[in-house]
Amino acid sequence: MRRYLTKRLGMMLVTLLLITLLTFILMHVVPGGPFTNDKQIPESVLSALRKKYKLDEPLAVQYLRYLGGLARFDFGPSLKYTGKSVNDFIQSGFPFSARLGALTLVFVLLASIPMGVVSALRSGRWQDALLMGAATLGVTIPSFVIATGLLYIFAFRLGWLPTFGVAKWQGYVLPVAALGGYSISFLARLTRSSLLEVMGQDYIRTARAKGLRETRVIIRHALPNALIPVVTVLGPTVANLLTGSFVIEKIFAIPGMGAHFVNSITQRDYTTIMGTTVFYATFLISMVFIVDLFYCLLDPRIRLE
């Protein structure tokens, strides 16, 4: 277990280092510097700007300086908004994104697992066909289509829910539904197929043979094993929810990090793009790592690998 852990941690650090390097390189090969403007800026101003943001140093030095900053959780200043740092954006945006993501994750788990269980237990009947039909729709329709469709129906036509903003709790309903659509469908399909497989195992027959009630067989014996594949995809699911939130935050005008990220890209605010990417990547990789640890604890067979 410990060897596995150290190996995974080492891999994670290498990945993070590569991510920062890759982001750094990508941001420096971009055509047109951060100060490229419609108006011609005098050369003296440009060089002063470069000096201020330390862009006149050799690239390697800049990279090391950036890494040093990261180690102290300092993502550097924003190039477009004077006086604002990337940390300000993250601090103001992340709570919104995290709340949206956490709510969606809870909603996804609460909706998808029962969906999968019901359709596995009623497999081949109309309940199964209905739920799996809905799940097929959910995995194929892009999130922005779901989001705008929900917006049109529930906010514009019916007027039940607000069109944007998250000042009231109602504001979260549509974003959560739209963001979770894909993951719910995906996890429901996974739960169904994995539960179907488990239900055919010998130990389920044994549990039934010793006279346990069917609900107990399912809850105590089948589900814990059937949910292992679901746990493994939780990491990618979290990643999916976070990146999906770019478009959801844009549509519902939620001032989260996704919105900042998209804005910083269109404004070519390099330090913000870099900072947000590195932050996102670190967050996601840590999530995947935690999920994997959890998975290790759940299924002792993994450790042997």
Partner 1 sequence: MTIDPWAMAEQNPARREALAYNARSFAGDVWFRFSKKPTALTGMTLVVLMALFAVFGPMLTPYDYDKQSLSMGNIPPYFAAVSAPEPDRFFYVTANMKVIETDGQGRLIRQLTKKTDDFAASRVSFEYNGALVYLDYGVNPPVMLDPDGRPLTAGKRLWNRSYLLGTDHLGRDILTRLMYGTRISLTIAFVAAAVNMVIGTLYGGISGFLGGRTDAIMMRVVDIISTIPLTLYVILIKVTLSSGLSGIIIALSSVYWVDMARVVRGQTLSLREQEFVLAARTIGTSRRAILVRHLIPNAMGPILVTMMMLIPSAIFMEAFMSFIGIGIAPPMASLGTMCNDAVEALRANPYQLFLPALMVCLIMFAFNFVGDGLRDALDPKLRK
Give the Cα separation of 264 and 86 in Å (integer). 10
Give the Cα separation of 120 and 114 in Å (integer). 10
Site for partner 1 in 29-88 (CB under 8 A): 29-31
As measured in angstroms, the least distance from the Cβ of 105 to partner 1 is 16
Give the Cα separation of 165 and 103 in Å (integer). 16
Asked if residue 139 binds partner 1 (CB under 8 A), the reply is yes
Q: Looking at the chain, how many residues does it have?
A: 305
Q: Which of 5, 59, 130, 145 binds partner 1 (CB under 8 A)?
A: 145
Give the Cα separation of 270 and 293 in Å (integer). 34
Query: First-to-last CA distance in the chain?
Result: 10
Assign 85 to helix, strand or coil.
strand
Asked if residue 288 binds partner 1 (CB under 8 A), the reply is yes
CB of 198 within 8 A of CB of 226? yes
* Among the residue ranges 14-22, 44-52, 172-180, 205-213, the one whose residues contact partner 1 (CB under 8 A): 14-22
Give the Cα separation of 268 and 272 in Å (integer). 9
As measured in angstroms, the least distance from the Cβ of 148 to partner 1 is 6
Q: What is the pattern of x (binds partner 1, CB under 8 A) and - over residues 157-196? A: ------------------------------------x--x
Site for partner 1 in 81-100 (CB under 8 A): none
Residues that bind partner 1 (CB under 8 A): 11-12, 14-15, 18-19, 22-23, 26-27, 29-31, 136, 139-145, 148-149, 151-152, 156, 193, 196, 239, 242-243, 246-247, 250-251, 262, 265-266, 268, 273, 277, 280-281, 284-285, 288
